[in-house]
Structure 1
Amino acid sequence: MWGYLSLLPAFLALWAIAGVWTVFALAVANRAVNLTEGFPYISLCGSYPPQSCIFSQLLNMGAAMAAWICIIRYHQLRDLGVGKWFNRLILSTGLLCALGTSVVGNFQQRNQLPTHLTGAFFAFFVGTLYFWLQILLFWCMKSLPQPGPPWIGPLRLGLCSLCTILMVAMVILHSWLLRSASAACEWAMAMLLFALFGLFAVDFAGLDGCTLSLRPGPSLSSPPASPISLQMPL
């Protein structure tokens, strides 16, 4: 029986896929993009109002959900015995991916191109690295449990490989000024990344909830002798 946490990755995938195609449909409907001139990039579809407002809200909420998924995954891997430094490396790439997604939504291509491209780098390139590190982890640690059916692992490997191929093709085609083909690679890559996040539903299936505990840090001074010493005269 799936725990409620398993619904979060699935909801993120559906939310993101439906959202970006809604933005695309609005951009075509109000002629912000012209399909007769070529297939547009995702960012171009979200550069003009009113769809730019939806685009920003969509990516901000998606980034928040992605960051929460990465944090839950970090604690799950920690409980499975994954080393601290490698687990933190994985978490860092995941959070950078989420941050880049939010930057892409808030700094539209037509308004702040350098910042937008920086966010896109974190969202696509670092995001792909996040899932490769997940695969590397399970390849190095054979003792880690493999939840779900046996084809989940090969599916993740195939999606990551295809995502990497599309990323390289996107950059090359853009440099060759084949913008429509490059944009098609970008759309396909985005769908694959959403699907990879959605597959965390399998890993979270056994989680019924999570608990956040705070640990006291080292103190440089001794604690107060009694609560009376904390009182201040008025």
Structure 2
Amino acid sequence: MSLWMLVPVSLPVFIITGIWVVYAMALYNQHVCPVHNWLYNESCEEQLPLQRGPVLCCTLDNIPLISKCGTLPPESCFFSLICSTGSFMVMLIGLLRYAHVVQKHQNCVLNTAGLSAGWICAAGLIMVGNFQVDFAKVLHYVGAGMAFPSSMLFVCIQSALTYRLAKTKEDYRFGHVRVVMALLALIALVLSGVFFCQESFALQHASAIFEWIYCMLIMLFYGTFAVEFGGMSGDTLMVLSRGGGAQSFSTSEHKTEVGGGSNHQQPESFVVL
């Protein structure tokens, strides 16, 4: 087994643990209401951080959305760190997955689209983490608008690529698992978006819960790449150095060997490089 499998495993472990720690900090500082709280008011006589007692008065500003949990310090500092680190890991996993598909099959439009979707998601994640919703709402929503749809597109593309690369029954079963995860994530994303636009307190609270479910599913989906990355080697990284043209590069090398290294093969080699 290759140590590269630790990269996709570490992403969900780090992100899921991190955002729950941020939620715990926000809850401790009374910046958001608990997830189990379903009672909200139009307004409160006293702001939530200043309230004391077992019964809290909550408004829409205190709904435990993931972004809301990371809005105020000190949890906002950890939230920014988690999103920035997670963004880098998402880019790395997307790049390694791209090289893995090229090595096992060949490069295709679907594979390139998957890499692009993953990197757009990473860019949106940085914006979400570093532009808090209460202080830079437009930039925060732009980042969210990039991260959520592109992450959904990424898992759909990777589910399709799993079937394209499948050769055994176990591979197809693994593809089924990814499709189920992608469908559950899509349902959670749609419900979260629909409920978020409603005026009902209960529905907006449900939106926050589905947002948490969606993020958990996406992170667990990234973790499934440990199966492919377990067989990854240095040859996979060489695919990146060749510009993703593993098949054409090998063909060119074969021609050069057959031709005995003659000069008329050099232009083709330079083009490939």
Same fold (TM over 0.5): yes
Q: CA deviation at 1:145?
A: 4.4
Name the structure 1 match of 2:70: 46
Q: Secondary structure at the match of 1:48?
A: coil
Q: Residue 167 of structure 1: which of 162, 184, 189 is its match? A: 189
Alignment-derived partner of residue 118 in structure 1: 142
Work out whether residues 28 and 34 of structure 1, in 8 Å CA contact, stay in contact via their aligned partners in 2.
Answer: yes
In the superposition, relative to structure 1, how do residues 170 and 146 fare at CA in structure 2: closer, same or farther (>3 Å)? farther
Structure 1 pair 8–148 and aligned structure 2 pair: CA distance change class (3 A): farther
Q: Does 2:204 correspond to 1:205?
A: no
- Which whole-Å CA distance do the structure 2 matches of 1:115 and 1:154 have between them? 36
Q: How does 1:147-158 map to 2 (within 5 A)?
A: 151-158=173-180
Q: Give the superposed CA RMSD.
A: 2.0
Deviations 1:170-210 (A, max 9, x none): 11111223210000000000000000011110111101343
1:95 aligns with 2:119: yes
How far residue 147 of structure 1 moved from its aligned partner, in angstroms, is 9.6
Partners of 1:147 and 1:75 in 2: CA distance: 23
Distance 1:49-1:146 versus aligned 2 partners, 3 A rule: farther
SS at match of 1:108: coil
Offset at residue 214 of structure 1 (A): 6.0
Give, in whole Å, the separation in 2 of the partners of 1:196 and 1:47. Answer: 26
Give the aligned residue type for 1:115: L
TM-superposed deviation, 1:144: 4.1
Give the Å deviation of 1:148: 6.2
**Number of residue pairs the alignment of both structures matches:** 212
One-letter code of the match for 1:112? A
- Structure 1 unaligned blocks of 5 or more: 216-234
For 1:86, which of 110, 127, 132 is the aligned residue? 110
Does the Cα contact within 8 Å between 1:39 and 1:184 map onto a contact in 2? no
Q: Among all aligned residue pairs of Structure 1 and Structure 2, give the percentage whose two residues are the same amino acid.
A: 33
Structure with greater contact order relative to length (CA < 8 Å, sep ≥ 6)? 1
TM-score (norm 1): 0.84
Where structure 2 has 5 or more consecutive residues not aligned to the other structure, the ranges are 38-57, 244-273
